[in-house]
Structure 1
C-alpha cells in the first residue's frame, strides 16, 4: 500500500506531503490544477519514463519520496533480494532530478538503478487510464489475465516443468547425434590409430627408461676399461690384498705392542669394510655394463618407435597411453552410439507426450475459463450502460512454449451487427474505460490485493447512473486493498473513503499546485462544485449529500 508521497520542487509543486489510506482514495480539482503532476511525480520516483523537464523553475533539483507498506510475502521482497537491497515491512523510495537532467535514486537509503525502480513498480502499482495501452489492453498479456482469472498456476507450473524437460531431452539427443556424427566422420582414422597404439602398447614412463638404458649401453664401452682397472686395483691383487696383509702382520705383533696397535687395527678393520663395499659397487657396475649389442639395437628401435608415434599425434611420449584410452573410448561410443540414440529418442518421445498432455490440459481449462470470463464481463457491462456490447475471448494456435500453445485475445463489438475487433482498437475512450473497469471487477477476486491500483480519469465521458456504477465498482475494487482515482465525476468522488482536492494558486506571478485533504464538510462543498460549477448553491450541496453514502 502507498502510505506517503512527498514532493519537492517538481513542475509547479513547491512542497507537498500526502498521507494515503487503504480503500478508495479520490483526487479531484479543476482542469489544469495539477492532478496529472501527482501521477508524473509518482511515476518519476518509480522509474517510469515520462516528461524530461520535471524540476520546478528556479530550483536546483526536484525530489520525490514514496513510502509503501510491505506485508510479509509481498512480491517486492523478492525484487529487493535479487537486487541486493535491504528489505523490511517498510519500503522507502527516493529519487532526485537535477536541473541539468541527472537522476539519482535510493531504495531504503541504498543507491539503485532505474531498472530496479521499474521492477518494484511492476509489483507495487497498477496504473490505468482511458487510453491505457498496457496491462489489460495489451493483447500480449491477455493469456496471462485469463490464467490469473482461472487460477491456473498449478497447471502452468506443470506445463513449464514439462517444457523444460522436453528441452533438455531434445538437447541431449541433438548433442549425442552431433557427437556420434563427428566420431563417424573420423572412424577410419580412429580405427587405424587405435590399431597402431595397441600394437605399440606404450607404457607411462617407458620413454624415459628406454632413453636412460640406451645412454648407459652407449657409454659402457668407453668406461668399462677404466672401471675394470679400478676393480683390479681395489681387489685381492691390489688394495684389498695389501690391506689384508697389513692387518695380519699388525694383528700378530699387537700382543707385544702393549696396546699401541689397537687403534690402527680398528681403523684398518673399518677401512676393510668400506673397501669391501666399494669393491661390491664396482662389481655391480661392471655387471650392469655387460650387454648384448642386439639389446642396444632393440632398445633404440623401441625408443624411436615411441617418439615417432608421439610426433605423429603431436603430443609428449608420456601422453600416448592416455591418448590410446581416449581413442578407444570414442570408438566404443561409436559402436554403442545407435543404442544410446534409441534410448534418448524414447526419452524425447515421453517428454513430448508429457508436454502435450500439460498443454492440452491448459487449453481445455482456458477454454472453459474464457466462457466464464466472457459471461462475467457481459454481466458487468449492463450496469455500465453497455448492455448491447459483446465481449468475447478468442483463441488461436501459438508456437509451443512454456505456457502452452494458446494465443488469447479479448475482442469486443460495441453495437449489434458491428464486427468484433481488438479491445483497444474498437472501443471509444469512454467505452474503453468501462470495458477496462468491467474486466478489473471480474478479475478482482484473483488480483494481487497488495498492489495499489491507480485510475486516471477512467470515468471521463460518462455521467449519471453510469458514473455511479463506475464509482461503485471502483469502491468494490478498493475493498480490502487500495485504489487511487483521479476523477472529474461527482458520482465517483462521492463514493470515496478518503478525498483530496488538487488546487492551483498564483502568488507574485508564480504558479503553484497543492493538494488538500478534505473534511466531511469540505467534501460536500467539493462535490457540490463538481455538480454546479463555480457557484455552489444550497441545492448543489443537498445534491452532493444525496450522492454520498450515509
Structure 2
C-alpha cells in the first residue's frame, strides 16, 4: 500500500508531502490544476522515463520519494534479493528518484542505489495504474492467463511438473539423436581409432614404467665396459685382489719374525675384506644394470608408439586406456543407437501423454473459470452504460512448440461493443471512456475472487454522468473495500464515495505559479463537490445536492 508521497521541484510543485490510507481516495480539482503532475511524479518513482522537463524552473533537480507498506513482502523481497539489495520486511519500502535539470537521474531503494529497470519491476508489484491510454495491466494479453488462473484459483503445479519431465525427455532424445548423427558420420574413423587403440592395449601408468626401465638399460649399456674393466683389475688372473692374496700367503710364513710383519699382515687382511666388498658391490650394480639389447629396443618401440598415439589424439599417454573405452562406447552407441533412440522416443511419448492429460484438465478448469468470469463481468456492464456490449474470455490451444509450464492455452479477454459487432481484443476499444469502464468492470469481477493491489484510476469517469457516474462510484468503493484505490475524477458522484478527498489546486503570487494538494475536511468536501456540480458559481442548491450525495455514499 502507498503510504506517503513526497515531491520536490517537479514542474509546478515546489514541495509537497502527502499521506495515504486504505480505502477509496479521490483526487479532484479544476482542469489544468496539475492532477497529471501528481501521477507523473508517482510514475517517476515507479521507473518511468526520467525527463529533465519535469524539473521545476530554477531548480537543479527534482526528487520524488514514495513509501509503501507491504502486506505480502515475499515477491518484493525475492526481487530485491536477486538484485543484491537488502530489505527488512517489517520496515516500509522507500523508493527515491532524482532527476537533474541538466539530464540524468539516480534511483534508490531503501537508500541503496538501484536501476530504473528495477524500479519498473517493483512498480509492477506495488501499483497498478489504469489510464485512458494504458497498454499494460489488464490490457496486455500476456497477463490474461495468469489473471484467469488467479480468478479461478487454479493450481498449475501438476502441469508444471509434467512439463519439466517432458522437457527433460525432449532434451535427452535431442542429445541422443545429435550424438547418433555425429557418431554415424565418424563411424569409419572410430572403427580405425578403436582398432588401433585395442591393438596397442595401453595401460594406465605404463609410460612411466617403460621410461624408467629404458633409462636404466641405457645407463647399463653406457657403463658396462667400465664395470668389466674394474672387475678385471680387481679379481682377474693378474688382478689386484689376486696379488694381495699372494702377498698375504707369503706374509703368513714370515709374520712371526718381526712384530711389524704381523701388523702388515693384519692391514693386508683388512684390505682384502674391503676389496671383496668392493667387488661384491660392483657385481651387484652390474647385475642390476644388465640389459638385453632386444628388450631395450622393444621397450623403446613401445614407448614411442604410446607417445605417438597420445599426440595424435591430443591426450596424455596415461589417458589412452580411458580414451579407448570412450571410443569403444561411442562405437557401441552407433551400433545400438537405434534401440536407445527408440527407448527415448517412448519416454518422450509417455511424458507428452502425461503433460497433455494434466494440461487438458487445466484447460477444462480454465474454460469453466472463463464462463464464471464472463458472467461476473456481464453483471457489471449494464450499470456502467455498457449494456449493448459483450465480454468473453477466449481459451485456445497452442501448438506444441508454445507449450509451457503454465499449460498449452492462450487466454485473451475480448469485447464486442455493439450488437452484431465482432469480438476484438480489449485494447482495440476505440472510446477511452468505454475502455476505462470495461477495465473497471473486469477489475471488480477479478477482485471479488482474488483481491487487488494498490490501484489508481485516472479519470475513469470521463464523458459520463448521472446514473453511470453513480454506478462507477459504487463499484470503485466496492473495489476499494479492504485495499487501497486512488481515483482522479471530475465526477461528483465518484468524489462523494471517497473515504479520503484530496484537492489539487494552483496558486499565484504574482511571479510564480504553484500546484498544491491538501486533504479536505467534511465541510470542504461538501463545498468541492458542490463546485463540481455547479461550476464556478456555487449555489445553495448545489450544496444541498452535494450533501445528499455524501449522505448516500
TM over 0.5: yes
Q: Equivalent residues in 2 for 1:95-134 (5 A)? A: 95-134=97-136
CA distance in 1, matches of 2:548, 2:160: 53
Q: Equivalent residues in 2 for 1:58-457 (5 A)? A: 58-88=58-88, 89-152=91-154, 154=155, 156-207=156-207, 209-210=209-210, 223-235=223-235, 238-241=239-242, 269=270, 274-287=274-287, 294-296=294-296, 298-299=298-299, 301-306=301-306, 309-310=309-310, 312-313=312-313, 317-399=317-399, 400-402=402-404, 403-426=406-429, 428-449=431-452, 451-457=453-459
How far is 1:15 from its partner? 0.5
Question: Structure 1: 5+ residue runs without aligned partners?
Answer: none
Q: Residues 316 and 401 (structure 1 numbering): CA distance in 2 closer, same or farther, change over 3 Å? A: closer
How far is 1:50 from its partner? 6.6
The answer to whether the Cα contact below 8 Å between 1:180 and 1:333 also exists between their aligned partners in 2 is: yes
CA distance in 1, matches of 2:359, 2:105: 45
Residue range with higher mean Cα deviation, 313-322 or 99-108: 313-322
CA distance in 1, matches of 2:257, 2:168: 98
CA distance in 1, matches of 2:122, 2:303: 71
Q: Which residue of 1 aligns with 2:9?
A: 9
The answer to whether the Cα contact below 8 Å between 2:5 and 2:17 also exists between their aligned partners in 1 is: yes
Question: Structure 2: 5+ residue runs without aligned partners?
Answer: none
The answer to whether the Cα contact below 8 Å between 1:247 and 1:265 also exists between their aligned partners in 2 is: no
Q: Residues 179 and 241 (structure 1 numbering): CA distance in 2 closer, same or farther, change over 3 Å? A: same
What TM-score, normalized to structure 2? 0.89
The answer to whether the Cα contact below 8 Å between 1:25 and 1:499 also exists between their aligned partners in 2 is: yes
Q: Residues 175 and 10 (structure 1 numbering): CA distance in 2 closer, same or farther, change over 3 Å? A: same
Residue range with higher mean Cα deviation, 110-119 or 306-315: 306-315
Q: Residues 247 and 179 (structure 1 numbering): CA distance in 2 closer, same or farther, change over 3 Å? A: farther
How far is 1:243 from its partner? 5.7
Number of residue pairs the alignment of both structures matches:
544
**What SS does the aligned partner of 1:97 have?**
strand
1:209-238 alpha-carbon deviations (Å, 9 max, x no partner): 556656666676664343222113233864
CA distance in 2, matches of 1:132, 1:221: 94
1:469-527 alpha-carbon deviations (Å, 9 max, x no partner): 11111111111110011101111111100111000011133110000110111111111
How far is 1:141 from its partner? 2.6
The answer to whether the Cα contact below 8 Å between 2:376 and 2:445 also exists between their aligned partners in 1 is: yes
CA distance in 1, matches of 2:381, 2:519: 33
The answer to whether the Cα contact below 8 Å between 2:52 and 2:100 also exists between their aligned partners in 1 is: no
Q: Equivalent residues in 2 for 1:52-63 (5 A)? A: 52-63=52-63
1:356-384 alpha-carbon deviations (Å, 9 max, x no partner): 11221221111111111111111111222
How far is 1:64 from its partner? 0.6
1:317-371 alpha-carbon deviations (Å, 9 max, x no partner): 4443333233222223333433322222222111101211122122111111111
Q: Residues 227 and 57 (structure 1 numbering): CA distance in 2 closer, same or farther, change over 3 Å? A: same
**What SS does the aligned partner of 1:445 have?**
helix
CA distance in 1, matches of 2:112, 2:341: 54
Q: Residues 500 and 229 (structure 1 numbering): CA distance in 2 closer, same or farther, change over 3 Å? A: same
CA distance in 2, matches of 1:280, 1:357: 88
Q: Which residue of 1 aligns with 2:538?
A: 536
Q: Residues 77 and 312 (structure 1 numbering): CA distance in 2 closer, same or farther, change over 3 Å? A: closer
Q: Residues 410 and 315 (structure 1 numbering): CA distance in 2 closer, same or farther, change over 3 Å? A: closer
The answer to whether the Cα contact below 8 Å between 2:148 and 2:370 also exists between their aligned partners in 1 is: yes
CA distance in 2, matches of 1:495, 1:487: 11
Q: Compute the RMSD of aligned alpha carbons.
A: 3.0
Q: Residues 28 and 241 (structure 1 numbering): CA distance in 2 closer, same or farther, change over 3 Å? A: same
How far is 1:93 from its partner? 0.8
How far is 1:316 from its partner? 5.2
What TM-score, normalized to structure 1? 0.90
1:224-260 alpha-carbon deviations (Å, 9 max, x no partner): 34322211323386444566677885999699969x9
CA distance in 2, matches of 1:13, 1:524: 26
Q: Equivalent residues in 2 for 1:490-505 (5 A)? A: 490-505=492-507
CA distance in 1, matches of 2:415, 2:122: 33
Q: Residues 472 and 242 (structure 1 numbering): CA distance in 2 closer, same or farther, change over 3 Å? A: farther
**What SS does the aligned partner of 2:356 have?**
helix
How far is 1:549 from its partner? 3.5
How far is 1:11 from its partner? 0.3
CA distance in 2, matches of 1:254, 1:163: 111
The answer to whether the Cα contact below 8 Å between 1:420 and 1:426 also exists between their aligned partners in 2 is: no
The answer to whether the Cα contact below 8 Å between 1:105 and 1:112 also exists between their aligned partners in 2 is: yes
The answer to whether the Cα contact below 8 Å between 1:254 and 1:261 also exists between their aligned partners in 2 is: no
CA distance in 2, matches of 1:200, 1:534: 105
CA distance in 2, matches of 1:301, 1:316: 18
Q: Residues 355 and 204 (structure 1 numbering): CA distance in 2 closer, same or farther, change over 3 Å? A: closer
